[in-house]
Amino acid sequence: MNGGSPRYNPLESMNRRFDAAVEVLGLDHQFANVLRVPDKVVMANIPVTMDNGNIQVFEAYRVVHSDHLGPSKGGIRYSMDVNLDEVKALAAWMTWKCAIVNIPYGGAKGGIKCDPRTMSKGELERLTRAYTVAMKDVFGPEQDIPAPDMGTGQQEMAWIVDEYSKIKGQNAWAVVTGKPIVLGGSLGRVEATGRGVMVSTRSALAKMGLKPTEVTCAVQGFGNVGSISAKLIAQMGVKIVAISDVSGGYYDSNGIDVEAAIAFVANSSKRTLEGFTCERNISNEELLELDVTVLVPAAMEDQITPENAHNIKAKLIVEGANGPTTAEADKILDDKGILVVPDILANAGGVTVSYFEWVQNRLGYYWTEERVNRRADRAMKMAFDNIYNSSSKYGVNMRLAAYIVALDKVSSVLKLRGSF
């Protein structure tokens, strides 16, 4: 979605922010390096028989960044853009994210280089089951717990549960989260990441002294996170004036009917916004530069870069996607006085409710959606307030404050455990 912009390396962005937090905390650099590098990197080449009888080999990864706070946790993405540095960065972000919302997980991430949109259901099932077999010694309810990510969903998680359970000879519901409800999934999980974005937006607007009914918002990305974020932010009274997906951007100065847009996508053969009626069509790049109060980048990494950061007009950015802002763009946004709620805080609602799902699986006792949402909202609000206060305490932006809080927690645990 970033058009002709150069491809940035998310691992480099993560490391630059990590280094800045290390300096503020005064951590020993050798000790910090233990926190920086992943504990485990597993790569596999997975052969799959395609529907036409040909055998295709898929490049697959699972990176366990840390298990110092508990079992490692992180999604599995299916995308042609998957590469090792990206997976390493995403795994590290999961470590910091879990520390920020105070749940007993470390961070991990998985990925397979494929285009799920061109694959049949049978091909995706064979690939997912083969990936599970390849990672059978990595995955486990007490070791490493996958979840959906870009290009994957409840069905892929169901296949993983089934294949892993066959390997272990018993049902292992807690080996993944983001499952269908009938297989031990949690109520509220599908909406959890978008709900966390809404809570972060609401909290930030309150700190800024802005009433939701007096602000406008643009949301880039209309997948699970973007669409639900837009719906819940609109329910706060905020006017959503622009949305976008792979088909482009859609602008309406009078406000977009988000519920209608969601219904349009659900009924579209392409599952996109293509053809959605609006005041005017815009590009994804134009959406980022709209004169709105709130901008929610909820698409992919590296959308706000040095090439366009100077043109951002929003007063508040709430990062629904992982890594939508490059490290080089951070200072530009700071200089412009834009408040940025970073990804490792704003989109942590998903992993929070994933933790709730894991707890429910282990207890064999399931909560109401109201209880899940209430607990998730409380966890997100507490995390936001902690990061906001730390930002003031250290005199840094919220992104650096989030890294400081996360590193301080993980480093304290590591020192107490005396692992080396």
Active site residues: 109
CA-based max dimension of the chain: 61
Residue 155 vs residues 107, 128, 178, 286, 370: alpha-carbon distances, Å: 23, 10, 9, 35, 25
Token representation of residue 400: 């650096």
Helix axis angle, 398-417 to 369-394, nearest 10°:
100
* Residues whose CB falls within 8 Å of the CB of residue 299, separated by 6 or more in sequence, listed in order: 1, 220, 221, 223, 226, 244, 245, 284, 321, 324
- Any residues with CB less than 8 A from the CB of 382 and at least 6 apart, and which? 102
Query: Phi and psi at residue 369, in whole multiples of 5°?
Result: -60, -35
| CA neighbours closer than 13 Å in the CB half-sphere of residue 176 | 32
d(CA 308, CA 322): 18
* Token representation of residue 325: 């802002």
Q: Which of 277, 282, 279, 217 is nearest to 245 (CA)?
A: 282
With beta carbons less than 8 A apart as the criterion, state whether 132 and 163 touch.
yes
Sheet bearing 40-49, strands edge to edge = 40-49, 55-64, 106-113, 72-79, 144-148
Closest to 210 measured CA to CA, from 235, 237, 232: 237
User: Which residue bears the tokens 């005064």?
Assistant: 26
7 torsion bin: left (phi>0), alpha (psi -120 to 50), beta (else): beta
Straight-line distance from the first to the last Cα atom of the chain, in angstroms, rounded to the nearest whole number: 43
- 3-state DSSP: the chain helix, strand, coil percent, rounded to 5? 50, 15, 35
